[in-house]
Every structure is written in structure tokens, then in C-alpha cells.
Structure 1
């Protein structure tokens, strides 16, 4: 019976990548190209935080707005939490503006009756809240982020299918183009509904750029280079986050900011012509000559001469491409969907479910802590930058611990640590000033290590021919967390530390689920479902040894 000849059956690709060097000139050039859309993704993923931030506003008292506010404002608006003037309430106006000769005073308001605002007076702060009159409609304000992140339910599987079927660079180029088109149009929104539509379309058709670039980067290097590559990717993503906050602080204009950050996305479409395709993907598709050409190009750029035992199968691979593709053709008709075949495996299905929950937990806590950071005391832009900056040492910590202690032990430890730190926030006395920020940053540090570990871990437990698709499924389901995260500030309206308690509870559950997964430290990437299943059998053998 004829069967497909995968990379693993013909050559040991990981050994070739090892001889080429984890980060030679070829790798550096390609990584530099991939880091550009990742930097942009860092800004795109959280831009909604600065599109519609909560700003200062109050009820409009139309009869008194032209009068000196010191004479009536304190008597017109009740004070609420932290002794601040209410945003949504006013005392009943009982005065007669004409009889008062155009003046307002305490006697014109009945403090026994509190009413809802009908109109609002906004501060000079820039926000979609003011542009679309969203005063006292916090659910509409937070819904912007939820709609944006819900687009990932569409983009990640869609991009994954395109990537696994037509190629990584095609998927990446198309996603970048969609980011540029729909993100740029969003800056011209004339209504709240128009803004929501383009929030969804931009993320729904373009957010897969990050996951595609990540998979390309992971397939570019051997096992020893994956952790460092992952760390580099995450550090650049953090620079995107910090740049977003700094740019927002400087511009104070959400529409101009969107135009500035989305315009470079159009450059990503040129990757269709300048980026090299993944060798591992080409081999899995039987496009051996193209794979060989790219490997030879990498050898030349890295100035590496591969040994004869490696070069020989490479040469044979190019010679037999045509005959093998003819043998495989009938079988391709019988096995139209590698994705369906993979999901027939009980082991793979279990991994998809567990990895999806791990991803949900990471996105919920990671984005939740970032979004709620603007509510901390102090400058919201600096707070956001600090919470983002702490991810850089977290990613380097990830580099140190993943290859030393393994994926499972790292995940369990960081999930438990995140739970302890988040829950401890609810136990602190209210008069503490600096300690909550320290614990908050520590919580972000630990969940970042977990998130980085999950990203690389999930890319290691699935086979090559469906890696992007299954990673996309886990990531898409995981976006339940990032979709709900923008709504967590609403929980704080009922109890300040309620979001932190939710974060801690989920990370405890996730830590328990990690025990059901195999260890993948220093294990070559599986190319087939059978190789992926052996990871669990390998675990069982070790446990019984």
C-alpha cells in the first residue's frame, strides 16, 4: 500500500536544523521578518484599552451650565465611592431658571430625590466614550474589547486551515493585509455600531497573524532553539504593548493612533514574495524539491557544510519527488482531511481539551490583569507599561526554567503561584499603597511565564501536518478567556477584588489539569499522529520505570 513520505520518514529534519545552527544568518533574517508582525500584534491585541478608556464625566444640568459651577455643582451632583462626584446621578432640579435671573444655587435642587442623568458633560480626555456618547454605559464600553477578542474565534481556525493547507507565508500575508484594511477603516468610525463591526472584522480576519508567525518561527529552529525563539517572540510582543501605551499617552487621540499603528500592517502583505516557506510544512506536503532548495539556501547563508549522511537523503528526496507524489495521489483522495484523522485519536482529543482550558486560563488572567491595570492608582499609561514590562523578565525566566525543569513542572508551579498572588490581593488591607502593585506585578509575571510555556508546549504536542490547525483550535477556544477579560472591570463595580478571585480560582484548576499531559522537554517535534501519541506512551514508560 502506497503511503505519504513525511519528513520524519526520509530525513531527520531536527538533526539538519541542529547542524545548520539554531540562529545562523538565515535564521536571523527570517526571524527578523517574523518579529515585525509580532510587534504589531502586541499593539493590536490591546488597542481597545486605549480606544475607549473610562473618562471623567457627569450629568449635564442644562439650566445651570452657563453659571459659575462653584455656586451649584456641589448641590447638584451627589458624591459616591471615594467621595467623588457621581457620574450617573443628579439631584432633582426644582428651580425656575428665569425667576432666578439666570443663576443656580443650593435651593434649586431637591437632595431628597436622586435621578438618572439624561445628558452628560465630558472632560477633555480623548475616548470613544465621548465620541459616541457612552456615558454610564460601561457594558457598551467594555463590549468593544469583547467584540474585538471574539473575532479570534473566527480568525484563528480560519488562518490555521489556510496555513496548514496552502502554506504559512500565505496565511501570514493575508492576515496582515486584513489587519491593515479593517483596522485603518475603523479609525473613521462614525457610530458605535460601525466601530464594533470593524473591531470584529479586523480581529476576525487578521488576528491569526501572530499564531502563524509563531508557528513559522517554531518550525524554523530545532528543539534547542525553540525556547529561546519563543522568548524572543514574547519580548518583541511586549515591546508592542509598551509602544501602544506610550503612543497613546503621547497622542491622546485614539483615531490618529489607530491609523499610525495599522498602516504598517500593509507591509506584511509583501511577505508573500520575500518570506521563505516552512521547510517542515513543505516536507509534510510532499513538496520536497522546494524544501531542499530552501535548506540549501540556509546552508549557503549560514556557511555550513552538512555531512554526507545528511546530504545523501536530501539529494534522493529531490529525485523521488515526482514518483512519490504520484504514489501518494490516490491516498490523498482517501485521506482528505488530516485534521479529522488526528481528532480520531483519543489522546489527541484529550490534549485539545486540556490545552484549550490551559489557554482559556492564561488569556483570561493575562488580559484581565493588563486591562484592570489602568484602574490601579496612579498614571494609567505608566501602570499599563509596568504591567507589560514585567513580561520581559518573565519571558527570560521562562527561557531559564523550561529547558532546566521541563514544561510540566514549570506550568504547575506558575499556575499555583498565580493563584496565590491573585487571591492574596483580596486579603490586603485597604490602606496599603505600594504592596498591591508589587503583588499585581508578581501575578502578571507568573501568568506570563505560564502563558509563554503553554504557547510553546502546545506547539510541541501536535503533529506537523495539523499543528497550526490544532494550535489554532486551542488558541481559538482559549479566546473565551480573552473575550471575557474585558468584562472583568464590571465585576469590580460590585467588589474591588472580585476579578482577582476569579483569576486565582481558574489557575488552581489549570494547575491540576497539567498533570494529565506528557513532558516534551528536548523531544523532536512529532510529524505524524503516531509520533504525537508516542509522547504519552513515553511518559507512561518513564512513570513505570
Structure 2
């Protein structure tokens, strides 16, 4: 039955292609012809499935590495050390340490004023309070304990800032390299750098060493996910991009969830790092296993290599690509010089600056990404401070992304990118601001918190898809990297957001919500890209709003 259905589907595709004149195909350009080839190969044929199976692994690892900071530098329970009484039983603690909100103060203590060396209620002067000099930590393992960071929250949050700061270096550089050398090489090398510096960091002997390798890890390896994502988007036809995006996001989410459970089981940050980072070396094997992106090869004029890969896909999927379509693909790729730009960061950026349309599109993309990153990572980081088990809370906050991505797949397919962006940013903003009106220890607070994470996750996934569709192939990775790098500026600030709670518990979520509401309004200006062929040149990208949607077979 499957074979018969497959043959009928193939004949329909061939009939559709056969009705097109060679002149029409030439006019469509190499990118449009390539989308027709993917359409013949099927929505998710064997070739695409095999490639996605490989791409899911680095995306899974990226989910793990993006969550490591939350457990590596997790705040743990500790109190002031009282040298005068530590050898006694613990009943004296109530007299030695002041309370705030029915909890012992972590950073201050009463002055000890008893010359008889006893520890009772009369041994401490409650009118004299001073800062602690030493701390007694709980059994939980964290860099806070290893490097004695008690009551130095700025140092603890700086670890996350150092990690996210690495993205500011990695993404623009890798974007340029990826557009110049392809998708596979940068992805493999970046993953190896993750493994090298992440493993070395587990042997840190000082806070300073930890900070340095935290930065180096992301500065050299953080582009793994974005490169895999762009590669994945270029392997499917337009109506398959949303599903492809959903699959890659699922891998990322499972990485976050599995790390949370692993951290709960181990409660040892050094061992955790030594377990999760070495597997990234396996991605180096992709240099010998994966074929390069045909779309990228065509954008560089390397027609023979691209056609060879498409022939391989044709054989794996057991279909036949019409020869005149391959000839047309080769001709348009060879002679359409306007679609083959020099891949230099300065050249690409200059072209964008000269185009008002592209510049505004880039600025909009950057702001949407900043808002998503700041809110998305901010909600994840602050989840460990919610009432209850911090590991389970983080798992729930990560898990909510699974139904969010399923929902995203459904609504993007039905309603399009623009409507979803506007609606989800608006809902995310409303939920985040609404948290300020609810008691933090109530069940409703957790529900609204998860709803906010749900909405911003849908928006984040949609931004990824939309950004990959509004920029040209020969500069897509570079421009996507600029957007993503801007977003990392928001992610860099996210680890500092818990410090805002010192002034007001609801201040972080109020800021998250305000930024999201503004993003909702700005999203009204984004062009519609539903079922539109990926543009292969700046010229095509500028006209994307007028590009005719690809007919469904």
C-alpha cells in the first residue's frame, strides 16, 4: 500500500513539474528550483530524516550546556559561621542569627558578648549586628560552596553573565565562517570546543579560572545550535520548516530536562560537567559523515557538489528528479551571479545598511531576539527560586516547552508567523506582569509562571523560524548571527535579574512583561513568510513580502 501511494505521489509531483516550462523554472531562480526538488523528494524523506537524526544530537547537547549554569552556580542554603559556638549543639542558632521573613539571615549575625564561653540567649547582643566573615554551607554541591561565595550574589550571577557574554563573540564570528565554509565544519568544530573548555572548567581551582573557562566555552562553542538550526531549515521545503524547527527544539528541551534530573541525582557540579561535556567530541565525526547543505553549495556556485548530493537524496528516497529541473537548477545557480555574494562580514553588513528595508528588518529581528532571550532565560534562571523542589521546578519550566512547541507547530501552520508572534508576545507580557498581583507561594503563581514561559517559548521558536526566512541564503547565517548575538545581550543580563528581586520580588517579571508587550506591537511590522521560498539573494529578500507563495502539490 505504501509503495502504491508513494508511486502515485511521485507521478503527481512529476506531472506538476512537467507542466512548467524551462523558462519559468529559470525565472524562479536556483532557490525556488531547489524548493521544488525538495518537494519531489518529499516533506521528510529518508535523506532528510537521516540528516535530522544527526542534527538532533548537537541540539540536545546545546540544551544541556545552556542549562549548566543554573545548577553549577546554583544558590544553596548556608548561614553565618559562629566560631564561638560551632562545637555546641545547634539550639543556639536562634539566638545568634537575626531573621528576615521567618528565615535566618544568610549574611548577618549578632555580636557574641559572653565571656563565659557559653552559647545561650544571653550570650548574644541583639542590638549589635554585623556582617558574617565565614559561612557554614549545606551538603548541596555548588561553586558557591567550593569557592566560598556566600553573600556574594554578584559573583555567583557573574558566572552566568560570563557564559552568555561568550555568545557575543561566538555568534558573529561563526556566522561569517558558516556562510563562508559551510554548515558542517563550523558546527563540528564548535561542538569540540564545547567539550574541551567545558571539561577543563570542571577542574577549576579558583573562581577566576572558572570565569575564564566559562567565557571561553561559549565564545568558541556556542554556535553549535544556531548552525545546526540553519542547516536543518535548508534541508526541507517551505511547508516543512515549522516541523523541522519543532524537532530541533524538542532535542534542546530534552537536553535541559535531562540535565536537571542529572543534577538532582548527582548534586556534584564537577562530576556533572565531566559527564555531559566529553560526548560533544562525537560531533567531529560529522565532518566525515554529513553532506554539506545543497542550498549553501548552490549559493556559492558549487553546482556539481550540490547536484551530487541531490542525486544521493534521490536514490535514498527512491524518487526521480526530472533532468530538466536539475539542468535548470544548475544553470540558474551558475549564471545568477546576483545570488552569489562575497561572504565577508563587512560586505554583508554594508549591503544591509544600504537597504532601508533590510536594515529595519534586522533591527526588528534584533529587538525581538533580545526580548525573547532576556525573558526566556530570565524565567528559567528565576525558576530555581520558586517555592518547592528547585530541580523539579526547573524540570517543569523546561517541560512546558514541549507542549509550547507542539502548539507552535500547529498555530504556525494554520495562522502563520506574524499572528503568532503578535499574540504570544502579548500573552507572555500579560502573564509576566500578572505575577505581580499573585502571592509568590501560591499554586496560581506557579501556573501563571509556566503560562508565561509557555508563551515566550512559542514566540522564541517563531522568531527562529521567521528570522531564517527573511534573510538571503548567501548571508543568512551572518545576519541570523547578528540577531542572535543581540539576543545574547539579553541573555547576558538574564543571570543578573535575580538581583532585582532584592528591591522588589516582582521587579524581574514586570520588566520581562513590559519588554514582551512592546515586542508584540513591533511584530505587526514583520513581513509574512508563510509557504514562501527562502530568498537566495539580498534582492530577493527585499521583495519577500511580494514573493508569490509556493503552490501546494
Q: TM-score range by the shorter chain?
A: over 0.9
Q: In 1, Cα distance between the equivalents of 2:185 and 2:506? A: 44
Task: Quickly say closer, same or farther: Cα 1:505–1:336, change in 2 above 3 A.
Answer: closer
Distance 1:423 1:43 in 2: 29
Partner of 1:425: 435
| Closer, same or farther: CA 62–217 of 1 in aligned 2, 3 Å | same
Displacement of 1:492: 1.3
Partners of 1:494 and 1:78 in 2: CA distance: 20
SS at match of 1:151: helix
User: For the residues of structure 2 that align with 1:190 and 1:270, how far apart are their CA atoms?
Assistant: 32
Q: Any conservation in 2 of the 1:338–1:465 contact (CA below 8 Å)?
A: no
Shift of 1:294: 0.4
The question of whether the paired residues in 1 share the 8 Å contact of 2:303 and 2:330 is answered with: no
1:25 CA displacement: 0.8
Deviations 1:240-287 (A, max 9, x none): 000010000011110010111101011111211111101000001011
Residue aligning to 2:16: none
Query: Structure 1 residue aligned with 2:244, among 225, 229, 248?
Result: 229
Alignment map for 1:136-151 (pairs within 5 Å): 136-151=151-166
Partner residue in 2 for 1:543:
none
Aligned position for 1:542: none
2:322 and 2:353 map into 1 onto residues whose CA distance is: 38
Correspondence for 1:46: 67
Q: Give 1:10 shift.
A: 8.2
* CA–CA separation in structure 1 for the residues paired with 2:497 and 2:123: 39
Residues 6 and 283 in structure 1, CA contact (< 8 A), matched pair in contact too = no
Could you state the TM-score of these two structures normalised by the residue count of structure 1?
0.92
Matched, 1:76 2:96: yes
Alignment of structure 1 residues 242-281 onto 2, 5 Å: 242-281=257-296
Please list the CA deviations of residues 169-206 of structure 1 after superposition, one character each: whole Å capped at 9, or x if unmatched: 11101101110100110000000110000000000110
Deviation at 1:52, TM superposition (A): 1.2
1:119-130 matched pairs, under 5 angstroms: 119-130=134-145
Judge conservation of contact 2:472–2:541 (CA < 8 Å) in 1: yes
Superposition pairs for residues 513-532 of structure 1, below 5 Å?
A: 513-532=522-541
TM-superposition CA deviations, 1:512-531 (whole Å, max 9, x none) = 11112111011100001111
1:385 matched to 2:395? The reply is yes
Aligned to 2:41: 20
User: Following superposition of structure 1 onto structure 2, how do residues 117-516 of structure 1 map, counting pairs within 5 Å?
Assistant: 117-314=132-329, 337-429=347-439, 433-516=442-525
CA distance in 2, matches of 1:11, 1:391: 33
Counterpart Cα distance in 1 of 2:327 and 2:123? 94
Change (3 A) 1:6 1:38: farther
SS for the counterpart of 2:136 is strand
Instruction: Work out the CA distance in 2 between the residues paired with 1:21 and 1:7.
Output: 20
Change (3 A) 1:474 1:10: closer
For 1:311 and 1:66, how far apart are their aligned partners in 2?
A: 82
Question: In the comparison of the two structures, how many residue pairs are matched?
Answer: 522
Q: Distance in 2 between matches of 1:10 and 1:458?
A: 17
Q: Give ranges in structure 2 of 5+ residues lacking alignment.
A: 1-25, 549-553
Residue in 2 aligned with 1:94? 113
**In structure 2, the residue corresponding to 1:410 is in which secondary structure?**
helix
RMSD: 2.2
Question: Contact 1:251–1:257 at 8 Å: present in 2 too?
Answer: yes
Asked if the contact 2:80/2:135 (under 8 Å) is kept, the reply is yes
Whether the 8 Å CA contact 2:30–2:330 is kept in 1: the answer is no
Specify the alignment match of 2:6 in structure 1. none
Q: Is the 8 A contact 1:238 1:389 kept in 2?
A: yes
Equivalent pair of 1:7/1:527 in contact (CA under 8 Å):
no
State the distance in 2 between where 1:346 and 1:292 align. Answer: 35
* 1:331 positional shift: 9.2
Tell me by how many angstroms 1:474 deviates: 0.2
Is the alpha carbon distance of 1:437 and 1:291 closer, same or farther for their aligned partners in structure 2, counting shifts above 3 Å?
same
Check conservation: 2:165, 2:215, Cα contact below 8 A: yes
Shift of 1:220: 0.5
Alpha-carbon distance change, 11 to 522 in structure 1, aligned in 2, over 3 angstroms: closer
Structure 1: runs of 5 or more not aligned:
540-545
User: Residues 91 and 110 of structure 1 are in contact (CA less than 8 Å); yes or no, is this contact kept in structure 2?
Assistant: yes
* TM-score of the two chains, using structure 2 as the length reference: 0.91
Question: In the alignment, is the contact (CA less than 8 A) between 1:462 and 1:532 conserved in 2?
Answer: yes
8 Å CA contact retained: 1:153, 1:476 = yes
Q: Deviations over 1:130-160 (max 9, x none)?
A: 0000000011111111110111001111110
| Aligned partner of residue 90 in structure 1, secondary structure | strand
Distance 1:223 1:332, change over 3 A: closer
Q: CA deviation at 1:313?
A: 2.7
**For 1:385 and 1:468, how far apart are their aligned partners in 2?**
31
Shift of 1:306: 1.4
Structure 1 counterpart SS, 2:510: helix
Structure 2 distance, partners of 1:8, 1:198, is 46
Cα distance between partner residues in 2 of 1:64 and 1:249 = 32
2-structure distance, mates of 1:25, 1:165: 28
